[in-house]
Amino acid sequence: MNSPNVEIISDCFIKPKFISEEATKPIYFSPWDLIMLSTNYIQKGLLFRLPENQDFSITTFLDDLKHSLSATLTHFHPLAARLATVKHENPQSIAVFLNPENSRGARFIHSSVNLTVADILTPTDVPLVVQSFFDHHQAVNNDGHELSLLSVKVTELVDGIFIGCSVNHMLGDGTSYWHFINSWSDMFQSKGQNSHLTQISRPPILDRWIPAGSDPIVTLPFTDEDQYINRPDHPMLRERIFHFSSDSLAKLKAKANSECGTTKISTLQSLSALVWRCVTRARRFSVDQETGCMMAVNNRSRLSPPVPENYFGNMIQTVKAITTAGELLDHGVGWAALRLHEAVASHGDKNIKEGMEAWMKSPFVVNPSVHFDTNSVHMGSSPRFDMYGNEFGLGKALAVLSGYANKFDGKVTSYPGREGRGSIDLEVCLLPENMAAFESNEEFISIVDE
């Protein structure tokens, strides 16, 4: 049965409530931002139950969202800008930057769909219609020259509300994304009262991190978009969300550490190792096929001196453990988890800066077709992000869901479990034939909680 269409009711643009002098100046990107030019926007959203009290007014709710968003954009003003590019000769290169001039602001869409909360949460797989709960479908970050860098889409369901945000990934990573959402939710709760520049609890640091001794304007050695923009056609995937209780995860972590005679392996490293093994088994690789597990790592605290957690920009890299399918499956989950732990533990200031020096000498932009290894598992996001603390006057969200963006066979996104206490949800994307084997794998299913 085909899902009903999501129909747009209204569409407008929101500008910052106050425009500081700083907000009128261009911002030049760091290397970690520029690397993201050809990836998709970040698309994450929260599903809420519609309040049962008769006093609830969708018109008032939308007005409060818009007013609080405008106040929040005062602090996160890059989200209301657009991208701009200047071409240089001798040597030929481009400089991409944030241009606050002539921008209409962040986009705000009100839409509706004839579906219930149960229609979204009951199916085994995440329904494809969820992708329609987000704006900028299939857009890459470079499209931010024309498209808004932030788009909020509020979709009314029969008995629920979904708030989906699409944020240009050049502006920030997952830490920055949820920093903004947390700040907006706080502003909404205060109804924008006394929303001066000093009122926000965690002001974002907008100055970009540039390698020491480098020109503050980092350029890319390109002359034409075709040299760095890639829009791959993704095959049809199945997408499922699996839940793991704190008790199940504690047992898995204890098992992984016990097998290796250590206490250093973390919960997420243990869970990632399990997923890596089970996805590899589901893919039916030959024993000598090389496979890896990549984990996104926040560089803020790993640099010396450390970068504050409130830094608003990209500060992530991936670390990778590599082995053969035969060796991965011949050993236990602890062996794989220890390889991931070692990859994360060895990623420090020296590695980060050496990698950045190499990039500065030979800049590149992430090409999903080249840099996302189809024989590996890619772990993204973090269960440490505060997702369920964002209530927007609607109570605790029922679920965190994502859009089309940055998904491929082997992409796994981690969220905190709704009940908290260290529980984790994993959003797993696999080719249909691989998912069928994965979801029936006894090693994996044994720790999944319904």
pLDDT in tens, 80-103: 999 999 999 988 999 999 999 989
pLDDT in tens, 315-369: 999 999 999 999 999 999 999 999 999 999 999 999 999 999 999 999 999 987 7
CA distance 255 to 248: 11
At which residue do the structure tokens 């709760």 appear? Answer: 189
Contact 1, 78 (CB under 8 A): no
Q: For residue 68, give the H/E element and its range.
A: helix 58-75
Q: What is the pLDDT of residue 90?
A: 85
Give the chain's radius of gyration (CA, Å): 22
CB-CB neighbours of 306 under 10 Å: 12
User: What's the rounded mean pLDDT across residues 278-300?
Assistant: 97
pLDDT in tens, 210-259: 988 889 999 999 998 989 998 878 889 999 999 999 999 999 999 999 99
CA distance 364 to 37: 10
Please report how many Cα atoms fall inside a 13 Å half-sphere around the Cα of residue 51, on the Cβ side. Answer: 12
- Sequence-distant (6+) residues with CB within 8 A of 138 are 40, 231, 404
Q: What is the pLDDT of residue 128?
A: 96
User: What's the rounded mean pLDDT across residues 424-449?
Assistant: 97
CA distance 340 to 107: 40
At which residue do the structure tokens 């959402």 appear? Answer: 181
CA distance 366 to 216: 21
Among residues 139, 89, 81, 39, the alpha carbon closest in space to that of 312 is found at 81
pLDDT at 192 over 70: no
Q: What is the pLDDT of residue 275?
A: 98
* β-bridge mates for residue 84, sequence order: 97
Q: End-to-end CA distance of the chain, in Å?
A: 25
pLDDT at 261 over 80: yes
Contact 120, 59 (CB under 8 A): no
Q: What is the pLDDT of residue 53?
A: 78
pLDDT in tens, 125-177: 999 999 999 999 999 999 999 999 999 999 999 999 999 999 999 999 999 99
Tokens of 171: 């502006």
Query: Could you tell me how many residues make up the chain?
Result: 450
Q: What is the pLDDT of residue 193?
A: 57
CA distance 65 to 51: 16
**What pTM was computed for the model?**
0.96
Confidence label for 199 from pLDDT (cuts 50, 70 and 90): confident
CA distance 62 to 130: 20
Task: Tell me the residue type at 71.
Answer: A
- The whole-chain average pLDDT of the chain stands at 94
Contact 69, 106 (CB under 8 A): yes
Among residues 144, 84, 447, 31, the alpha carbon closest in space to that of 272 is found at 447
Phi, psi values for residue 339, rounded to 5°: -60, -40
Phi, psi values for residue 267, rounded to 5°: -60, -50
pLDDT in tens, 47-58: 999 988 778 999
